[in-house]
Amino acid sequence: MSIMRSVLLAGAENAWLRERAMRTPFVRRSVSRFMPGETMEDALEASRRLITEQGTGTILTHLGENLSSLAEAAAVTAHYLELLDRVHREQLNVQVSVKLTQLGLDHGNEDCFRNLALLVDRADAVGNMIWIDMESTKYVDPTLALFRRIRERSARTGVCLQSYLKRTAADLEALLPMAPAIRLVKGAYREPPELAFAQKADVDENYFRLASRFFDRGIPPGTFLGIGTHDAALVDRLRAVAASKVQTPARHEFEMLYGIQRPLQTRLVRNGVPLRVLISYGEFWFPWYMRRLAERPANVLFVAKSLLAR
Protein backbone atom coordinates (compact mmCIF):
# COMPACT_ATOMS: atom_id res chain seq x y z
CA MET A 1 0.00 0.00 0.00
CA SER A 2 1.39 3.43 -0.94
CA ILE A 3 2.27 5.93 1.77
CA MET A 4 -0.30 8.42 0.44
CA ARG A 5 -3.08 5.82 0.45
CA SER A 6 -2.18 4.79 4.00
CA VAL A 7 -2.25 8.39 5.18
CA LEU A 8 -5.60 9.10 3.53
CA LEU A 9 -7.23 5.96 4.93
CA ALA A 10 -5.92 6.73 8.41
CA GLY A 11 -7.34 10.24 8.05
CA ALA A 12 -10.75 8.79 7.19
CA GLU A 13 -10.81 7.13 10.62
CA ASN A 14 -9.58 10.14 12.60
CA ALA A 15 -12.41 11.83 14.53
CA TRP A 16 -10.32 14.92 15.40
CA LEU A 17 -9.46 15.53 11.75
CA ARG A 18 -13.04 14.83 10.62
CA GLU A 19 -14.58 17.38 12.97
CA ARG A 20 -12.18 20.15 11.93
CA ALA A 21 -12.03 19.38 8.21
CA MET A 22 -15.81 19.38 7.84
CA ARG A 23 -15.87 22.98 9.08
CA THR A 24 -13.07 24.12 6.76
CA PRO A 25 -14.32 26.06 3.69
CA PHE A 26 -11.63 24.87 1.26
CA VAL A 27 -12.30 21.20 2.12
CA ARG A 28 -16.02 21.69 1.60
CA ARG A 29 -15.31 23.34 -1.76
CA SER A 30 -13.11 20.47 -2.89
CA VAL A 31 -15.66 17.79 -2.03
CA SER A 32 -18.33 19.51 -4.13
CA ARG A 33 -16.68 18.10 -7.27
CA PHE A 34 -17.56 14.59 -6.14
CA MET A 35 -20.82 15.17 -4.27
CA PRO A 36 -23.66 17.39 -5.55
CA GLY A 37 -24.86 18.31 -2.06
CA GLU A 38 -25.90 17.09 1.35
CA THR A 39 -29.66 16.68 0.90
CA MET A 40 -31.91 14.18 -0.80
CA GLU A 41 -33.12 16.92 -3.13
CA ASP A 42 -29.53 17.70 -4.13
CA ALA A 43 -29.01 14.06 -5.08
CA LEU A 44 -32.32 13.81 -6.93
CA GLU A 45 -31.62 16.98 -8.89
CA ALA A 46 -28.22 15.63 -9.93
CA SER A 47 -29.94 12.40 -10.97
CA ARG A 48 -32.50 14.24 -13.08
CA ARG A 49 -29.70 16.14 -14.79
CA LEU A 50 -27.68 13.00 -15.57
CA ILE A 51 -30.75 11.14 -16.81
CA THR A 52 -31.71 14.05 -19.08
CA GLU A 53 -28.30 15.15 -20.33
CA GLN A 54 -26.33 11.91 -20.33
CA GLY A 55 -29.01 9.25 -20.45
CA THR A 56 -27.57 7.35 -17.49
CA GLY A 57 -29.36 6.04 -14.45
CA THR A 58 -28.02 6.60 -10.94
CA ILE A 59 -27.62 4.89 -7.58
CA LEU A 60 -28.12 7.08 -4.51
CA THR A 61 -26.53 6.48 -1.12
CA HIS A 62 -27.00 8.55 2.01
CA LEU A 63 -23.64 8.83 3.77
CA GLY A 64 -23.14 7.66 7.32
CA GLU A 65 -22.13 4.43 9.04
CA ASN A 66 -21.63 2.86 12.47
CA LEU A 67 -24.62 4.62 14.00
CA SER A 68 -24.78 4.91 17.77
CA SER A 69 -28.37 3.78 18.32
CA LEU A 70 -31.26 1.84 16.84
CA ALA A 71 -33.27 5.07 16.84
CA GLU A 72 -30.77 6.52 14.36
CA ALA A 73 -31.05 3.36 12.26
CA ALA A 74 -34.84 3.74 12.22
CA ALA A 75 -34.45 7.33 11.03
CA VAL A 76 -32.12 6.22 8.21
CA THR A 77 -34.61 3.54 7.21
CA ALA A 78 -37.40 6.13 7.09
CA HIS A 79 -35.18 8.36 4.96
CA TYR A 80 -34.61 5.61 2.41
CA LEU A 81 -38.30 4.70 2.35
CA GLU A 82 -39.08 8.33 1.50
CA LEU A 83 -36.38 8.25 -1.19
CA LEU A 84 -37.87 5.12 -2.78
CA ASP A 85 -41.29 6.78 -2.82
CA ARG A 86 -39.91 9.97 -4.37
CA VAL A 87 -38.12 8.04 -7.10
CA HIS A 88 -41.28 6.04 -7.81
CA ARG A 89 -43.52 9.11 -8.02
CA GLU A 90 -41.15 10.80 -10.47
CA GLN A 91 -40.49 7.57 -12.38
CA LEU A 92 -36.73 8.12 -12.22
CA ASN A 93 -34.13 5.55 -13.21
CA VAL A 94 -32.61 5.68 -9.73
CA GLN A 95 -31.63 2.80 -7.43
CA VAL A 96 -30.64 2.85 -3.75
CA SER A 97 -27.49 1.65 -1.98
CA VAL A 98 -27.20 1.30 1.80
CA LYS A 99 -24.59 0.26 4.35
CA LEU A 100 -25.85 -2.25 6.90
CA THR A 101 -24.22 -0.35 9.76
CA GLN A 102 -26.64 2.45 8.80
CA LEU A 103 -29.48 0.04 9.50
CA GLY A 104 -28.26 -1.05 12.93
CA LEU A 105 -25.86 -3.93 12.23
CA ASP A 106 -23.64 -2.91 15.16
CA HIS A 107 -26.65 -3.33 17.45
CA GLY A 108 -27.81 -6.76 16.30
CA ASN A 109 -28.49 -8.74 13.15
CA GLU A 110 -32.23 -9.05 13.72
CA ASP A 111 -32.89 -5.33 14.08
CA CYS A 112 -30.75 -4.69 11.03
CA PHE A 113 -32.60 -7.34 9.05
CA ARG A 114 -35.98 -5.84 9.96
CA ASN A 115 -34.89 -2.44 8.66
CA LEU A 116 -33.40 -3.97 5.53
CA ALA A 117 -36.58 -5.96 4.92
CA LEU A 118 -38.66 -2.77 5.08
CA LEU A 119 -36.52 -1.27 2.33
CA VAL A 120 -36.50 -4.38 0.16
CA ASP A 121 -40.27 -4.84 0.51
CA ARG A 122 -40.82 -1.23 -0.56
CA ALA A 123 -38.39 -1.62 -3.47
CA ASP A 124 -40.23 -4.78 -4.49
CA ALA A 125 -43.57 -2.95 -4.41
CA VAL A 126 -42.35 -0.07 -6.60
CA GLY A 127 -40.11 -2.07 -8.93
CA ASN A 128 -36.80 -0.72 -7.66
CA MET A 129 -33.52 -2.20 -6.39
CA ILE A 130 -31.67 -2.15 -3.06
CA TRP A 131 -27.90 -2.51 -3.13
CA ILE A 132 -26.09 -3.59 0.04
CA ASP A 133 -22.74 -1.88 0.25
CA MET A 134 -19.72 -3.69 1.70
CA GLU A 135 -17.75 -2.27 4.59
CA SER A 136 -14.53 -3.33 6.36
CA THR A 137 -13.60 -7.00 6.76
CA LYS A 138 -15.22 -7.52 10.15
CA TYR A 139 -18.58 -6.91 8.46
CA VAL A 140 -18.12 -9.19 5.45
CA ASP A 141 -19.54 -12.37 6.99
CA PRO A 142 -22.63 -10.76 8.59
CA THR A 143 -23.25 -8.72 5.43
CA LEU A 144 -23.16 -11.79 3.19
CA ALA A 145 -25.33 -13.73 5.64
CA LEU A 146 -27.97 -10.99 5.63
CA PHE A 147 -27.76 -10.72 1.85
CA ARG A 148 -28.44 -14.44 1.46
CA ARG A 149 -31.37 -14.16 3.83
CA ILE A 150 -32.93 -11.11 2.18
CA ARG A 151 -32.34 -12.61 -1.28
CA GLU A 152 -34.77 -15.39 -0.35
CA ARG A 153 -37.35 -12.67 0.22
CA SER A 154 -36.74 -10.75 -3.02
CA ALA A 155 -34.45 -10.82 -6.03
CA ARG A 156 -34.50 -7.02 -6.10
CA THR A 157 -31.36 -6.77 -4.02
CA GLY A 158 -27.64 -6.92 -4.72
CA VAL A 159 -24.42 -6.87 -2.73
CA CYS A 160 -20.99 -5.31 -3.15
CA LEU A 161 -17.76 -7.37 -3.23
CA GLN A 162 -14.22 -5.95 -2.99
CA SER A 163 -11.36 -7.23 -5.14
CA TYR A 164 -8.63 -6.19 -2.71
CA LEU A 165 -9.76 -8.82 -0.20
CA LYS A 166 -8.07 -12.18 -0.63
CA ARG A 167 -11.27 -14.01 0.35
CA THR A 168 -13.45 -12.48 -2.36
CA ALA A 169 -12.87 -15.16 -5.03
CA ALA A 170 -14.23 -17.80 -2.63
CA ASP A 171 -17.11 -15.54 -1.59
CA LEU A 172 -18.07 -15.01 -5.22
CA GLU A 173 -18.05 -18.72 -6.04
CA ALA A 174 -20.27 -19.39 -3.02
CA LEU A 175 -22.77 -16.76 -4.16
CA LEU A 176 -22.91 -17.56 -7.89
CA PRO A 177 -25.40 -20.47 -7.63
CA MET A 178 -27.95 -17.88 -6.42
CA ALA A 179 -27.67 -15.94 -9.72
CA PRO A 180 -26.91 -12.84 -7.65
CA ALA A 181 -26.59 -9.18 -8.48
CA ILE A 182 -23.03 -8.17 -7.58
CA ARG A 183 -21.35 -4.78 -7.65
CA LEU A 184 -17.61 -5.36 -7.86
CA VAL A 185 -15.28 -2.64 -6.57
CA LYS A 186 -11.61 -2.55 -5.63
CA GLY A 187 -12.10 -1.64 -1.95
CA ALA A 188 -11.37 1.45 0.10
CA TYR A 189 -10.85 0.47 3.75
CA ARG A 190 -7.57 0.06 5.62
CA GLU A 191 -6.96 -3.69 5.98
CA PRO A 192 -3.97 -5.78 7.17
CA PRO A 193 -1.81 -7.47 4.49
CA GLU A 194 -2.88 -10.95 5.55
CA LEU A 195 -6.45 -10.07 4.52
CA ALA A 196 -6.00 -7.74 1.56
CA PHE A 197 -3.66 -7.44 -1.40
CA ALA A 198 -1.15 -4.68 -0.70
CA GLN A 199 -0.06 -3.98 -4.26
CA LYS A 200 -2.28 -2.13 -6.72
CA ALA A 201 -1.30 -4.47 -9.56
CA ASP A 202 -2.51 -7.47 -7.55
CA VAL A 203 -5.81 -5.75 -6.72
CA ASP A 204 -6.31 -4.85 -10.38
CA GLU A 205 -5.55 -8.34 -11.64
CA ASN A 206 -7.83 -9.93 -9.08
CA TYR A 207 -10.56 -7.50 -10.15
CA PHE A 208 -10.13 -8.55 -13.77
CA ARG A 209 -10.29 -12.25 -12.87
CA LEU A 210 -13.38 -11.81 -10.70
CA ALA A 211 -15.24 -9.68 -13.25
CA SER A 212 -14.32 -11.99 -16.14
CA ARG A 213 -15.91 -14.89 -14.25
CA PHE A 214 -19.33 -13.36 -14.94
CA PHE A 215 -18.89 -13.79 -18.68
CA ASP A 216 -18.44 -17.57 -18.52
CA ARG A 217 -21.21 -19.58 -20.16
CA GLY A 218 -21.81 -21.61 -17.01
CA ILE A 219 -23.02 -18.59 -15.03
CA PRO A 220 -26.69 -18.97 -13.95
CA PRO A 221 -29.18 -16.95 -16.04
CA GLY A 222 -30.20 -13.73 -14.33
CA THR A 223 -26.79 -13.08 -12.79
CA PHE A 224 -25.88 -9.38 -12.88
CA LEU A 225 -22.53 -7.59 -12.59
CA GLY A 226 -22.04 -3.93 -11.77
CA ILE A 227 -18.47 -3.13 -12.85
CA GLY A 228 -17.52 -0.44 -10.36
CA THR A 229 -14.18 0.97 -11.50
CA HIS A 230 -12.75 4.20 -12.90
CA ASP A 231 -9.63 2.48 -14.26
CA ALA A 232 -9.74 3.15 -18.01
CA ALA A 233 -7.37 0.29 -18.86
CA LEU A 234 -9.43 -2.14 -16.80
CA VAL A 235 -12.64 -0.87 -18.38
CA ASP A 236 -11.25 -1.50 -21.86
CA ARG A 237 -10.02 -5.00 -20.94
CA LEU A 238 -13.42 -5.97 -19.57
CA ARG A 239 -15.26 -4.47 -22.52
CA ALA A 240 -13.13 -6.71 -24.76
CA VAL A 241 -14.00 -9.77 -22.67
CA ALA A 242 -17.71 -8.92 -22.77
CA ALA A 243 -17.60 -8.42 -26.55
CA SER A 244 -15.92 -11.77 -27.06
CA LYS A 245 -18.53 -13.67 -25.04
CA VAL A 246 -21.81 -12.28 -26.27
CA GLN A 247 -23.75 -15.43 -25.36
CA THR A 248 -23.09 -15.21 -21.63
CA PRO A 249 -26.31 -15.36 -19.58
CA ALA A 250 -25.11 -12.61 -17.21
CA ARG A 251 -26.06 -8.97 -17.66
CA HIS A 252 -23.68 -6.16 -16.78
CA GLU A 253 -23.23 -2.41 -16.59
CA PHE A 254 -20.39 -0.10 -15.68
CA GLU A 255 -20.83 1.95 -12.51
CA MET A 256 -18.84 5.07 -11.67
CA LEU A 257 -18.93 7.75 -9.03
CA TYR A 258 -20.36 11.18 -9.64
CA GLY A 259 -17.66 13.62 -10.75
CA ILE A 260 -14.89 11.06 -11.24
CA GLN A 261 -13.48 10.19 -14.68
CA ARG A 262 -16.08 12.32 -16.46
CA PRO A 263 -14.36 12.01 -19.87
CA LEU A 264 -14.38 8.22 -19.54
CA GLN A 265 -18.06 8.28 -18.57
CA THR A 266 -18.83 10.39 -21.64
CA ARG A 267 -16.89 8.04 -23.91
CA LEU A 268 -18.75 5.00 -22.61
CA VAL A 269 -22.15 6.64 -23.09
CA ARG A 270 -21.28 7.74 -26.63
CA ASN A 271 -20.28 4.16 -27.44
CA GLY A 272 -23.59 2.82 -26.15
CA VAL A 273 -22.05 1.10 -23.13
CA PRO A 274 -24.47 0.68 -20.19
CA LEU A 275 -23.42 3.05 -17.39
CA ARG A 276 -24.89 4.01 -14.04
CA VAL A 277 -23.55 6.80 -11.80
CA LEU A 278 -23.39 6.43 -8.02
CA ILE A 279 -24.22 9.66 -6.19
CA SER A 280 -23.41 10.06 -2.51
CA TYR A 281 -24.98 12.77 -0.36
CA GLY A 282 -25.41 13.65 3.30
CA GLU A 283 -23.74 15.54 6.12
CA PHE A 284 -21.31 12.78 7.16
CA TRP A 285 -19.19 12.93 4.04
CA PHE A 286 -15.64 13.21 5.37
CA PRO A 287 -14.70 9.50 5.77
CA TRP A 288 -16.24 8.75 2.36
CA TYR A 289 -14.32 11.65 0.79
CA MET A 290 -10.98 10.52 2.21
CA ARG A 291 -11.55 6.97 0.95
CA ARG A 292 -12.34 8.29 -2.53
CA LEU A 293 -9.05 10.18 -2.55
CA ALA A 294 -7.24 7.05 -1.37
CA GLU A 295 -8.85 4.94 -4.12
CA ARG A 296 -7.46 7.10 -6.90
CA PRO A 297 -4.45 9.28 -6.04
CA ALA A 298 -5.05 11.33 -9.21
CA ASN A 299 -8.02 12.82 -7.37
CA VAL A 300 -5.63 14.39 -4.85
CA LEU A 301 -3.81 16.21 -7.65
CA PHE A 302 -7.12 17.34 -9.13
CA VAL A 303 -8.26 18.77 -5.77
CA ALA A 304 -4.95 20.55 -5.27
CA LYS A 305 -5.12 22.15 -8.71
CA SER A 306 -8.72 23.24 -8.23
CA LEU A 307 -7.89 24.88 -4.91
CA LEU A 308 -4.84 26.69 -6.28
CA ALA A 309 -6.94 27.99 -9.16
CA ARG A 310 -9.33 29.77 -6.81
CA distances from 41 to 44, 45, 160, 282 (A): 5, 6, 25, 11
Catalytic residue among 183, 213, 276, 296, which? 183
CA torsion sign for 128, 253, 228, 155 is positive
* Catalytic residue list contains 133: yes
Catalytic residue among 106, 133, 204, 231, which? 133
CA distances from 225 to 88, 139, 169, 255, 265 (A): 24, 21, 14, 10, 18
* Catalytic residue list contains 85: no
CA distances from 38 to 2, 92, 279, 280 (A): 31, 20, 11, 8
d(CA 189, CA 16): 19
- Pair 186, 163: CB distance under 8 Å: yes
In whole angstroms, what separates CA 135 from the centre of its chain? 10
Helix ranges, the chain (H)? 3-12, 15-21, 25-31, 40-53, 70-90, 109-126, 140-153, 168-175, 200-213, 232-244, 262-270, 286-295, 298-308
CA torsion sign for 174, 221, 270, 59 is negative
- Pair 277, 253: CB distance under 8 Å: no
Q: Which residues does the annotation mark as catalytic?
A: 133, 183
